């Protein structure tokens, strides 16, 4: 086996929020691993490794990594473990012990964000999409998904953010604070009645701020950005995302089927 050491880890954790992570591994850690944790590396779990090594799944600033503790418990190496045939023995462990639990945590954060429902509450497929009231591509996505939404197959949950223009936060607050947010968003995205920024209670303004913080914390840069669940080859449920307006092929993938 070989341990390939990396000065930096290039893989990106899809839709993960690492600050204040509740997925952190809480058990007592060996001194070398604890030293890395003290430097800000999140330790998410422990796994078996060959050659007497002990592996730990970890992440920092949106990058996942494996830490290998030497048999004497006195040293730790960050890198990718390879066998004599050049097979990567680390990737599957990172997927199981870092990415999957962090994606589950991220989905929970999306669920707890401040969103407006678009579609049947009992629709079998739920998609979260970050929406700015000034975003023409968000409006186009709203139009594109009508067949699935109107058929009761998909529910979009619009996480309202204000990032594109000076009045975007005010428009997001107006939508979230409307007497009927669903109808107001529908009229706005359908072009029937353009929403205008207006003063809202502090609680509503804080909801927009929290949504903006979530958007930035996830490392996103475009609206719409949509997150949806998919079944991996091993049968586990994972999260996928699309930043920007999806292509026709990706739209079908996101909706889970051809247009009804």
What are the structural domains of the chain? 2-94 (3.10.450.70), 113-255 (3.40.30.10)
pTM higher than 0.75 for the full model?
Answer: yes
Residues 6+ apart with CB under 8 A from 253: 230, 240, 246
pLDDT for position 21: 41
Bond before 229 cis per omega within 30 degrees: no
Asked if 65 and 55 count as a contact pair (C-beta separation under 8 A), the reply is no
pLDDT at 80: 93
Question: Could you report the per-residue pLDDT of 217-236, keeping only the tens digit for each?
Answer: 888 889 999 999 988 777 67
Who has greater pLDDT, 56 or 102? 56
The sign of the dihedral angle between the CA atoms of 84, 90, 91, 93 is positive
Structure tokens at 118: 């678009």
Q: Write phi, then psi, for 100 (nearest 5 degrees).
A: -60, -50
Mean pLDDT over 184-210 rounds to: 95
Closest-CA residue to 133 (of 90, 73, 194): 194
Three-state secondary structure call for residue 211:
helix
Q: Is pLDDT at 62 greater than 80 in this prediction? A: no
Q: Is the pLDDT of residue 133 over 90?
A: yes
C-alpha 60/C-alpha 231 separation (Å) is 26
Residue 255 clears pLDDT 70, i.e. is over it: yes
Give me the chain's average pLDDT, please.
Answer: 87
Determine how β-strand 54-60 pairs with β-strand 125-132. unpaired
In the block, residue with structure tokens 């002990």: 54
pLDDT over threshold 90, residue 172: yes
Q: Which tens digit of pLDDT belongs to each residue from 72-103? A: 999 999 999 999 999 999 988 888 888 888 88
Location of structure tokens 């950005």: 225
């Amino acid at each position: 086996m070989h341990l390939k050491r990396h000065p930096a880890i290039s893989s990106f954790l899809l839709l993960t929020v690492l600050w204040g992570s509740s997925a952190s591994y809480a058990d007592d850690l060996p001194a070398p691993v604890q030293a890395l944790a003290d430097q800000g590396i999140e330790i998410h779990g422990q796994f078996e490794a060959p050659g007497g090594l002990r592996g730990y799944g970890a992440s920092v600033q949106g990058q996942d990594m494996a830490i290998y503790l030497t048999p004497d418990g006195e040293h730790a190496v960050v890198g990718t473990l390879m066998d004599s045939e050049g097979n990567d023995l680390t990737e599957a462990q990172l997927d199981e012990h870092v990415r999957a639990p962090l994606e589950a945590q991220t989905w929970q954060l999306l669920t707890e964000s401040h969103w407006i429902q678009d579609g049947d509450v009992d629709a079998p497929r739920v998609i979260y999409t970050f929406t700015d009231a000034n975003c023409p591509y968000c409006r186009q996505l709203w139009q594109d998904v009508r067949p699935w939404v109107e058929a009761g197959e998909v529910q979009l949950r619009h996480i309202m953010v204000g990032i594109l223009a000076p009045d975007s936060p005010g428009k997001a607050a107006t939508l979230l604070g409307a007497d009927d947010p669903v109808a107001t968003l529908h009229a706005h995205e359908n072009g029937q009645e353009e929403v205008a920024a207006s003063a809202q209670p502090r609680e509503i303004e804080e909801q927009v701020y929290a949504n903006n913080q979530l958007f930035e914390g996830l490392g996103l840069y475009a609206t719409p950005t949509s997150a949806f669940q998919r079944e991996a080859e091993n049968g586990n449920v994972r999260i996928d995302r699309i930043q920007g307006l999806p292509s026709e092929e990706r739209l079908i993938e996101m909706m889970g089927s051809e247009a009804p």
